[in-house]
Amino acid sequence: MAQATKEQIEKIISGQMEELMKKVPANSGISAAFYCPSHPHVKKYYNYGRANDRADMSEHTIICIGSTTKVFTGSLIAYLHILDKVGPLDRTLVKKHLPDVKSDAMTLLQLATHTSGMPENSPGDQGVYLFKDEPPAPELKGWWANPSNYEKTAGEWVYSNIAFVTLGYAVEAIANNGAFSPGYSKYLNDWITTQTNPPMTHTWTTVPDDIPPELIATGHVENGDTRKIENGSDIKSTAADLHSWVRANFDAINGPTTPFLQALHNATSVHLRDLKYPNGKDTGFDMGLAWQISNRNANEPTVISKDGAVGRGGSSSWFGLVPQSENHSWPEMGLAMCLNSFGFNPGHHGRTALLDIAKLF
């Protein structure tokens, strides 16, 4: 087994972050968190650029994580299954828990794997209600009630924000016997962020009022405009907290010992294979619960990943997990990336970093 040096690993991560910094807007920044328990002396955090006009970017800078929120929602529904509050996801109809959804075939698993038939978005910004702990809006209930809105591509892979908003409401309804209270943020806190080691103390749907302004990123979009974090759009987090999240998922992969870790193990496991786009082309990945699992090349690591971006907050994020392999010597490792800029594909650089590190072994 080759022995990669600390310097070699750090050079690969730094190199990819520096390449990405060449693309993002001026006055924005990146914070990346690396986890590799077999190489504990490798630098954990990689910070570049500015968080806002008061501070440099750091692992404590708070950004909107965008669609990486979906893996938390997927883990919440998995947790409810582990607690026996809901049956097998592939056999549980959505309408059992959300009667306004009129499909006679749509399952919770389809919502969690982008195969429900729901399009990318529905009219309005329905996630705002979910992440502000409000019940579904009448507009959403009316949309749910018309199956023609989502039956055309059922069973095919269509990336869907509204499917995961619907799944979030299903989590609430299952957790509290049909009541949309106390809300998404309560379950996120009780079942995820307080369960990691260390706890994710700066991960919420709503940033508390007492957080110092220098810790809150100013977001940037491609045309040079800036954005302030808006509560209600998604989860807010930091690279330090996402390091805890990556670590928790590896604890789950390596032998889940608690209901929380069993839920994470379920979420990162393959649930659907051989997925096709509506045009018939292979997606190139399998699906966990929100996680995309790429393992088509036997000579490369499996990468379990999710990316996110939110224009409203001018932010992007990505995290990827490389489990150990029985046939190869690369170590388990994970990388989480937080950017206060939108539209610059951090996942390409994160994945490249992990694959290049694997080649050292």
Q: Is 312 helix (H, G, I), strand (E, B) or coil?
A: coil
3-state secondary structure of 258: coil
Whole-number pLDDT of residue 2: 65
d(CA 236, CA 230): 9
Residue 148 pLDDT: 95
Instruction: Give me the pLDDT at residue 223, please.
Output: 83
* Interval 263-297: pLDDT, tens: 999 999 999 999 999 999 999 999 999 999 998 88
Mean pLDDT of 198-224: 95
Q: Where are the domains of the chain?
A: 6-68+204-358, 69-187
Residues 6+ apart with CB under 8 A from 123: 139, 143
**Mean pLDDT of the 88-98 span:** 98
Q: pLDDT exceeding 90 applies to what percent of the chain?
A: 91
Superfamily of domain 6-68+204-358: DD-peptidase/beta-lactamase superfamily (3.40.710.10)
Q: d(Cα 65, Cα 347) in Å, to the nearest integer? A: 13
Instruction: Quote the mean pLDDT of the chain.
Output: 96
* Percentage of the chain modeled with pLDDT above 70: 99
Residue 326 has what pLDDT? Answer: 86
User: Does residue 302 surpass a pLDDT of 70?
Assistant: yes
Q: Is a pLDDT exceeding 80 seen at residue 35?
A: yes
DSSP letters of 144-209? HT-GGGTSTTTTS----HHHHHHHHHHHHHHHTTT---S-HHHHHIIIIITTSSS--TT-BSS--T
* Alpha helix (H) residue ranges in 196-345: 239-253, 259-268
What's the Cα-to-Cα distance from 9 to each of 49, 93, 333, rounded to whole Å?
21, 46, 11
CA-to-CA dists, residue 8 to 12, 114, 342, 360, angstroms: 6, 38, 29, 8
Residue (of 16, 20, 67, 9) closest to 43 by Cα position? 9
State the pLDDT at residue 231.
Answer: 84
